[in-house]
Amino acid sequence: MGKNMIKTDICVIGGGSAGLSIAAGAVQMGADTVLVEAGKMGGDCLNYGCIPSKALLTAGKVVRTWKKSPEFGVNYGAPEVDFQKVHDHVKDVIADIEPHDSVERFEALGVKVIQASGQFVDSKTLKAGDVTIRARRFVIATGSRAMVPPIEGIESVSFLTNESVFDLTDLPKKIIIVGGGPIGCELGQAFRNLGSEVSIVEMASIMPKDDPDLVSVIRDRLENDGISLLEQTKVLSAEKSSEGVILRVETNGEERDISGTHLLLAAGRIPNLEKLNLEAAGVKVERQGIAVDKGLRTSNRKIYAAGDVTGGYQFTHMAAYDAGIIIRSALFRLPAKVSYNAVPWVTYTDPELAHVGLSETDAKKQGVQHKVLNWSFADNDRARAERRTEGKVKVITSQKGKILGASIVGLQAGELILPWGLALSKGMKIGDMANVIAPYPTLSEVSKRVAGSYYTESLFSDRVKKIVRFLAKFG
């Protein structure tokens, strides 16, 4: 074996959420492991996604607390936003987590970390810098990046993506966000709370993958916050202006210009595949990403793919889930297969919107016979005490009460969705949730109450009343 040749059990390409989970699991289970990463350890989630966005959102929520304080009989002066310090707060949060994802930690675990870009030479060989790697199994986990939409003139203007927006040290005066999905809505609300003028331009409706009934609560909040929502709106062109940028947009056949000091693109993601030379490895790529089977194997049976590169659910928690499937298959030769029937997701606006399983729209499209249960946060005593009564929980069950899905919009919806995910993964019925003893007063009571509503019609029916009256005759 040559000086710059490494032979290993498993080589992971990409040091993001999926890659790090696989590398850490593999090496601790005794596999000789190599990790190849050209950029920052921790990938998109730590450096440009989940972590910095939540840190920025939290800063915005602190400002919003002042706006609501008079409702509680508390009055104090308007906050002054020092955006340089907001920037520093975001970077400090990243820095606090960095050691867990660092080269030093993974090398201490026993992983051989190569900080270079990897390209396949053939079906079982990878070149990374001046090192050649031959592995029994490879895992491609190179993640995704923001898509630059085909807008006329976009190349002539300055724009931000999630990879650059957290480097801002001055608060944008007027920011235009192209894309009304979770990223666009979250960052739009964060910047608005911190004092920016915000416009969100969306070709369809905002948050199109979520239940429209619940999305309407988010829409109302964003508009009440002063955000300009331009839905069903196409961006025709972009050009520089003295202020920053002008977008030409079209809504219902009418064209107009909107101007801003900053432009943020949040209109979708594309997988990071270009540098890998996948053709040499015999790995098939489809429009959305690398093609994989239910065991996350590619067309080359020695190569797996995990996380965003497959074009599936682009969530950090799904990257970790994929990692577990691959470790069972690659290391233990077990017939592990993915199951996506209980995949949760959360949009961290305020209020949050969380979902798992089938939505009402899904059930209708698939022709599934179902029941829809609703319960309002306005009927929850803890929500009343917090003065946060906007929102509701919606649950989809089969006709016989099997839980098929749940969606929650409201305070701490992301925390409240977990038991519904457990219920789905275990095939539980609505009675299981209805019979749980929920502590009082908590927001979690909304789950128990919506479950109990399944029985309302039968429990308080004329038939039950007759039975009660009849039994009462016997003392």
Binding-site residues for NAD(+), please? 179-186, 202, 268
Q: What is the 3-state secondary structure (H, E, C) of the chain?
A: CCCCEEEEEEEEECCCHHHHHHHHHHHHCCCCEEEECCCCCCHHHHHHCHHHHHHHHHHHHHHHHHHHHHHHCCCCCCCCCCHHHHHHHHHHHHHHHHHHHCHHHHHHHCCEEECCCEEEEECCEEEECCEEEEEEEEEECCCEEECCCCCECHHHCCCECCCCHHHCCCCCCEEEEECCCHHHHHHHHHHHHHCCEEEEECCCCCCCCCCHHHHHHHHHHHHHCCCEEECCEEEEEEEECCCCEEEEEEECCEEEEEEECEEEECCCEEECCHHHCHHHHCCCEECCEECCCCCCECCCCCEEECHHHHCCCCCHHHHHHHHHHHHHHHHHCCCCCCCCCCCEEEECCCCEEEEEECCHHHHHHCCCCCEEEEEEHHHCHHHHHCCCCCCEEEEEECCCCEEEEEEEEECCHHHHCHHHHHHHHCCCEHHHHHCCCCCCCCCCHHHHHHHHHHHHHHHCCHHHHHHHHHHHCCC
The binding site for FAD consists of 54, 118, 142-144, 308
Tokens read off for 329: 């298959």
The binding site consists of 54, 118, 142-144, 179-186, 202, 268, 308
CB 116 within 8 A of CB 131: yes
Alpha carbons 257 and 2: distance in angstroms, whole number: 62
* Residue 139: φ, ψ to 5°: -130, 125
